[in-house]
Structure 1
Amino acid sequence: MVSRVSTNFAYQMITVAIGWQMYALTHSAFYLGLVGLVQFLPMLFLSLFVGHISDRYDRKRIITISQIVQSIFIAVLALGSLNGWITKESFLAIIFFIAVAHSFEGPPMQSLLPNIVTQDVFPRASAFMSSVSEFAVIIGPAVGGILYSFGATFVYALTAVLLIISGTLISQIVIKAQENAKSEPMSIKSLFAGISFIKSRPIVLGAISLDLFAVLFGGATALLPIYASKILMIGSFGLGILRSAPALGALLMSAYLAKKPLKHKVGRIMFTAVIFFGISTMVFAVSKSVVVSFLALFVLGASDVISVVIRSTLVQLQTPDYMRGRVSSVNLIFIGTSNQLGEFESGVTASLFGTVPAALLGGLGTIIVVLLWMKLFPSILHVDRFEASKGY
């Protein structure tokens, strides 16, 4: 739990710092989009390989090494910012290497929780982990915004330290025996086994592809530096507050789900939550009030965490342990596409049509995707409760 809090705290702080520093360097929505693209590409090309590794080798060790390497490159950002040699090109290059190291963390991290808790408590544990993580996500952006006012170096230095702490704690966790796939030789077939498995499970395919396309269009958070600077005019600290709003909504909702986990109509609830995600994105897009913008982002975070908890529970419980790394790697590609590539899409759209129209169209696109997915994957609508596969 402490490790997850440290990790999320670090990532939220550095997200604020990277976005604000890039916008300060370039004053360009396009370059804000490029930040998302360079974070997405390593995940796209490495996730399948990393997923296979996490099914064959110690997941704890992979996470620990990944976080330590990330901390090293973040320390380079701190030194570069301190000494003033950071340019937009070197900035993107360092972010790319951080993203490469980070891509080795995702699949084993997603696969670790089922090795720690039993099947019957997994939905509650998933919601609880979301709750404690979102607590850090709330504080992280605000702290990042405050520290950034003293210079980006402070943000990057603290982030590097937190990742080292997190990696050390992960290495000390006691887990159930991991069902490794060592007996299966590495091949093209085994590398793409996660894709084959997901294609054979319509509910899993529909759930993770919904996140891909819905959030891809609804990535208005990438434009927050522009909203904070040009539209709401609230500065870097205000940017941190806006970044905290979705996390506050997610924290309260995940705490509620941890206390009262969903038991019925989970498929229908997931679709409804994503529709609210799209509506709140549209409200935020046209708002010129700090209060309304904060409330819209609050609802966005609350609705998103409902979808996340349902989707992650469906995927993890229906996947046998020896496949979880590879399935999680595919899931992370979908998530990365929706988040990082979604940020790139938002940046490009904003540079072409303007910030407000881009965010508004993104929210509308999310709602259209949900309605389409309800037709393409009707089996999800009929999912009433969480059921585990025999290989849990």
Structure 2
Amino acid sequence: MSSPHTPHPLTFPNFRAYIVARLAAVIAQNGMMIVIAWQAYNIARQTMGTHAAAAQLGLIGLAQFLPLFLLTPVTGWAADHFDRRMIVRSTLCLMITGVGLLAFATYEGWITLPLIFAMAVLVGIVRAFNGPAFSALAPNLIPKEVLPNAIAISSVAWQGGAIVGPAIGGYMYAIEPWAAYACSASLLCLALLAMLLVGRVPQSPRDTSRRPIAQMIDGLAYVRQNRLVLAAITLDLFAVLLAGATALLPVYARDILHVGSRGLGHLASAPAIGAAVTALWFSFRPLKNEVGLKMLASVVVFGLATITFGATAFIAAPYAMPVALAAMVAWGSADMFSVYVRTSLIQLHTPDQMRGRVGSLSQLTISASNELGEAESGFLAALIGPVAAVIAGGVGAIIITLVWARLFPELRLARTFDPPDKREADYSQEKVT
């Protein structure tokens, strides 16, 4: 996908600063969210049973998702019409304020469920604006020919942050609860400083010929017309929506595996370890062939890993935790495979002037599959129990994959990341030959 003479993405100063900012911000956000979930579950368990407390985790996921759902049309349009650097910088400042408030409230001992839910809403608002601007900014920092490698490096930074963040959050909370939030605030300050080092970059001129509402609809129209992109986005959406095992990690850590906050950090980091290894592999060996079939296979593995994790409730204590960690590593690796395919398709097939709007829709599906999936898992756990909810989610992800392979033959037939018209021409020529 690149020649031996193509420069490495990290040789560009703007991209280096961008990666530092992305890594620091992801570490901070993941560390903060795992502590928020742990605090919410523990506060709820003081007055509620396991099932009712698990429902609070679902509500936290819903509190993050709703702002992003409502703001998606606006945030994607904003990322295409305003300086993406300024959007990222402003949202980082807002997040620093919120995390600082959580640190102070925890230190003073007046942390409550309403405050936690308010901060979850703030995270949803920040991500709604931050995500499209962050993702759309990356292609502006490097030449197009090195974009696939840059996507993999950016994924390594994201997954690396997802590894370190929960571990730091869990360990710092075990030392001093308020210190976990203070650490996140410091990392967000580092991310802000790095973003201030990103100089002015080229960005497509604003389209002032049409009304903003019409322009907001363009991203949806693009995704609807490109069935391959639509298939990749919706498969990831529904599979992760059903198999949202990470939402119930606090339940497993406290009441099933009995490993406490340190164990929670291990469990939360395990998926990101698998994802980071996969992303690192792609940064050196970009995926080139049979991308559709391999994505379908990865989602099946994702479902099987979810089932295995859920079944650790039936394994004896000395062996349950290692099996759970191995299952979550495989879970994260399979999820990263799917994310890599979807991200590459979107970034390589979308014109720059639409990347913010299409990126906001992609982020909406990610948030729907993650935060809304957490809500679904929490509510289902309250209804049928956490173990049954996790296992049922894994089975559902496998069924969805089989259905999508039938509904979207474009995904099965996608051999490379080439545009659909070129791919279909190559396929037809091969049949003739």
Residue 132 of structure 1 corresponds to 157
Structure 1 residue 207 and structure 2 residue 251: aligned?
no
Return 323-332 or 145-154, whichever deviates more.
145-154
Q: Which residue of 1 aligns with 2:300?
A: 275
Q: What CA distance in whole angstroms lies between the structure 1 residues aligned with 2:212 and 2:38?
A: 43
Query: How far off is 1:176 after superposition?
Result: 4.3
How many angstroms does 1:133 deviate by? 2.8
Q: Secondary structure at the match of 1:104?
A: helix
Cα offset, 1:126, TM superposition = 1.0
Instruction: Report whether the alignment pairs 1:385 with 2:416.
Output: yes
State the match for 1:244 in structure 2.
269
Q: How does 1:106-125 map to 2 (within 5 A)?
A: 106-125=131-150
Coordinate RMSD, CA, aligned: 1.5
The one-character-per-residue Cα deviations of 1:66-95 (angstroms, maximum 9, x if unpaired) are 111011011111111111222212221222
Separation in 2 of the partners of 1:85 and 1:180? 48
Following superposition, the deviation at residue 141 of structure 1 comes to 1.4
User: Counterpart of 2:113?
Assistant: 88
Match in the other structure for 2:69: 44
Give TM-score scaled by structure 2 length. 0.87
Are 2:372 and 1:341 aligned? yes
Measured after TM superposition, the shift of residue 150 of structure 1 is 2.6
Query: Structure 2 residue aligned with 1:226, among 242, 251, 258?
Result: 251
Q: Please say if 1:372 is aligned against 2:408.
A: no
Contact 1:20 1:225 in 2 (8 A): yes
Larger radius of gyration: 2
Distance 1:175 1:261, change over 3 A: farther
Equivalent residue, structure 1, for 2:350:
319
Q: Equivalents in 2 of 1:238, 1:16: separation in Å? A: 12
| C-alpha displacement of 1:106 | 0.7
Find 1:22's aligned residue among 34, 37, 40: 40
Matched, 1:293 2:293: no
Give the deviation of 1:388 after TM superposition.
5.8
| Shift in Å, 1:246 | 0.7
Q: Tell me, in whole angstroms, the C-alpha distance in 1 between the residues paired with 2:20 and 2:311.
A: 38
Task: Calculate percent identity across the aligned residue pairs.
Answer: 37
Aligned-pair CA distance for 1:204: 1.1
Counterpart for residue 392 of structure 2: 361
The offset of 1:371, in angstroms, is 0.8
Looking at structure 2, the residues matched to 359 and 47 of structure 1 have their Cα atoms a distance apart, in angstroms, of 29
Task: Decide whether aligned partners of structure 1 residues 367 and 122 sit closer, same or farther in structure 2, where only a CA change above 3 A counts.
Answer: same
Counterpart of 1:183, as a letter, is T
Which letter does structure 1 place at the counterpart of 2:159? E
Structure 1: distance between partners of 2:360 and 2:127: 12
What letter corresponds to residue 115 of structure 1 in structure 2?
A: N
Is 2:235–2:401's contact at 8 Å kept on the other side of the alignment?
yes
Query: Which of 302, 315, 331 is the equivalent residue of 2:333?
Result: 302
C-alpha separation in 1, matches of 2:254 and 2:61: 19
Distance 1:230 1:131 in 2: 32
Tell me the equivalent position of 1:148.
Answer: 173
Contact 2:77-2:212 within 8 A present in 1 as well? no
Q: Which runs of 5+ in 2 are unaligned?
A: 1-18, 46-52, 422-433
The letter of the residue matching 1:57 is: F
Cross-structure match for 1:71? 96
Q: Partners of 2:294 and 2:125 in 1: how far apart?
A: 35
Q: Which residue of 2 aligns with 1:330?
A: 361
After superposing the two structures, state which structure 1 stretch, 148-157 or 181-190, moved more. Answer: 181-190
Distance in 2, matches of 1:330 and 1:206, equals 13
Q: Which piece of structure 1 moves more, 40-49 or 145-154?
A: 145-154
**Structure 2 residue 212 is matched with structure 1 residue 181:** no
- Equivalence for 1:61: 86
Q: State whether residues 74 and 98 of structure 1, in contact with CA within 8 Å, keep that contact through their aligned partners in structure 2.
A: no
Residues 320 and 389 (structure 1 numbering): CA distance in 2 closer, same or farther, change over 3 Å?
farther
The one-letter code matched in structure 2 to 1:196 is A
State the shift of 1:389 in Å.
Answer: 9.4
Cα 1:187–1:145, aligned 2, differ >3 Å: closer, same or farther?
same
2: CA distance, partners of 1:373 / 1:40 = 24
Partner Cα separation in structure 2 for residue 3 and residue 234 of structure 1: 32
Shift of 1:4: 1.4
Q: TM-score, normalised by structure 1?
A: 0.96
Amino acid at match of 2:44: T
Mean CA deviation greater in 225-234 or 149-158? 149-158
Take 1:138 and 1:328, find their aligned partners in 2: how far apart are those partners?
24
Q: Decide whether the 8 Å contact of 2:128 with 2:360 is kept in 1.
A: no
* 1:106-144 superposed Cα distances (whole Å, 9 cap, x missing partner): 111111111122332222221122123322322221111
**Matched-pair contact (CA < 8 Å) for 1:55–1:324:** yes
- Residue of structure 2 equivalent to 1:217: 242
One-letter code aligned to 2:327? A
